[in-house]
Chains A and B, each alone.
Chain A
Amino acid sequence: MKELKITPIKDGTVIDHITAGSALKVLRILGITGEEGYTVSVAMNVTSKKESLKDVVKIEGRELKPEEINKISLIAPRATINIIRDYNVVKKYRVQIPDVLEGIAKCENPNCISNQREPIQPVLKVISRNPLRIKCVYCGRVQSQVEKNLI
């Protein structure tokens, strides 16, 4: 935890190596509004060894699950997750792009049924990771810029 500029937390989750400038989007995707009551610290454009700049988010008193965290993989593909208990990192993992993105991003095809008034969430399926190919399960369109259509 030495590399973090902001003070350590006792229990909770530290999301490190977030693409610089994306921390607020990360919070939005995770559904963290600040009204939940727990302490959230955000550091943006911090200098880092690996990248020139990065963002860091620390959430005190809440351990995020991998499924929740993986939602941020599209905008922060290099993020790492540290689960902290009693000031120690007890678990550390990298975000992974999930197999299915449900309700995370809209289909880029404006004429797609998922963009009309229907009682469904957009569902995008990851068909390959390298290169990244993501397809709408409704209209079948392969998405070119999913990160621009985040909900």
Chain B
Amino acid sequence: MSFKGRDIIRIEELKEEEIYRILDVAEKMVPVARGEETTDLLYGKVLASLFFEPSTRTRLSFESAMHRLGGSVLTISGREGTSLKKGETLADTVRMAEAYADVIVLRHPNEGAAALAAQFCSKPVINGGDGSGQHPTQTLLDLFTIKSELGAIKGKTVALVGDLRYGRTVHSLSLALARLGARMIMVAPELIQMPTYILDELNSLGAKYELTEDLGRGIEEADVLYVTRIQRERFPDEEEYMKVAGSYRVTLESLKNAKEGMIILHPLPRVDEIAPEVDSTPHAKYFVQAFNGVPVRMAILTMVLGVIE
């Protein structure tokens, strides 16, 4: 298994043992990501961080990862990113960026953008999220958090809660969990339940899952409660939205039947879907999860640059 020179575009392109290899390397990166140890593994290497839409969390964690490894970063984001989008094709932008950098991370509003970028770029391209499509490093950091908190992924029950219809993180995550042998409970009102095309893929993978509207059931059975934001604009009217948002809110009260070691994850930012008083419970792992973005991205950067096998 070699990652040198590889693009990281879709989670499906990674074999099971490759996913676990990334998680193992990430584990070793944790002390460096925390700043407790230092390294110059990527000294002299340059990351081009191309953000055609804002995503502070993803961008900062990639940039932190690169700096922690002794490398440096070129950033095109915000206003600059959007003006580029109007004037120039993405194909041209990545060909320009590869002239200045050794690896590219791309965030783009159109689905399939990372696959296109990889086609035009000889340096490794890492997908930092494309439209409502893929965000493989988010999925890897979710998997890393589950494995490091619970010791395993296989055999665990993961309840996915909230906007399962439009939420890309839950789409990628569910496909990965299916391949790694976790069981899933899809907790959402019908209007925003998992789309058929994802369920079809899950079925073809032989996934074990069930659908429910009942958050209580999800909480009771889950080893992992993966909560996502329910967006107002998905609902025909305010009243309907308030009703749904209210019944899918995770509070201290709603957690009383949870398993003792159950962990709560959230891709962040959250709005009201997890009450602040939950933060101080041992279940709350979403800030650890956010931190885990750094070691996971460090692992990916060192591996695609061929510094670690």
B-binding residues in A (CB < 8 A)? 107, 109, 111-114, 116-120, 136-142
Contact = CB atoms under 8 A, between A and B. Distances in A.
Given A111-B131, A113-B130, A118-B91, A140 B10 contact: yes
B237 to A, nearest CB: 26
A137 B133 CA distance: 12
A113 B113 contact: yes
10 contacts: A112-B111, A113-B108, A113-B116, A114-B116, A118-B91, A119-B89, A120-B116, A138-B115, A139-B110, A142-B200
* Chain A, interface SS category: loop
Contacts of A136: 112
Listed residue (B91, B109, B116, B197) with the most chain A CB atoms within 10 angstroms of its CB: B116
A29 B112 CA distance: 26
A136 B89 CA distance: 20
Contact of A111 (B10, B90, B111, B119): B111
B200 A109 contact: no
A111 B91 contact: no
A118 B90 contact: yes
Q: Which 4 A-B pairs have the closest CB atoms?
A: A138-B112, A139-B111, A139-B112, A113-B112
Interface in B72-106: 89-91
B169 interface: no
A119 B120 CA distance: 10
Given A139-B115, A139-B133, 10 more contacts: A111-B132, A112-B112, A118-B91, A136-B112, A137-B112, A137-B115, A138-B115, A139-B131, A140-B111, A141-B197
Given A111-B132, A139-B133, A142-B200, A120 B91 contact: yes
Contacts of B134: 140
Interface string B122-134: 0000000011111
A62 B131 CA distance: 45
A119 B116 CA distance: 10
A118 B119 CA distance: 12
Contacts of B200: 142
A39 B111 CA distance: 44
A142 B197 contact: yes
Contact of B133 (A114, A119, A140): A140
A118 B116 contact: yes
Contacts of A113: 90, 108, 110-113, 115-116, 130
